[in-house]
């Protein structure tokens, strides 16, 4: 059995109510649903937030800043 860690997060009351109802409806424990949600977030969401290398974003931001006047005229 893997080691566990107890924690007590505070979340939005409406979200919690939906979470508890889902667990009951699916016959699953709240722990199971929460662990699966965390696994999904860590595996799928977090990596997608880092798809662009930081140096590419820096170059993009510099380009936007140096061409702001042109970009504003083109937007009109």
- Integer angstrom CA distances of residue 63 from 13, 53, 59, 66, 73: 44, 16, 6, 5, 15
Boundaries of every domain in the chain: 13-75
Average pLDDT of the segment spanning 1-18: 91
Mean pLDDT of 12-41: 95
Q: Based on C-alpha coordinates, what's the Rg of the chain?
A: 22
Residue 25 has a pLDDT of: 96
pLDDT given for residue 32 in this prediction: 94
| Cβ(44)–Cβ(38) below 8 Å | no
Rounded Cα distance, 58 and 22, in Å: 42
């Amino acid at each position: 059995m893997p080691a566990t860690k107890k924690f007590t997060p505070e979340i939005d009351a409406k979200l919690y109510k939906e979470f508890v109802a889902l667990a009951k409806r699916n016959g699953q424990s709240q722990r199971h649903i929460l662990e699966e949600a965390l696994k999904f977030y860590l595996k799928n969401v977090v990596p997608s937030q880092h798809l662009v290398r930081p140096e590419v974003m820096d170059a993009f931001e510099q380009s936007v800043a140096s061409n702001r006047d042109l970009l504003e005229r083109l937007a009109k």
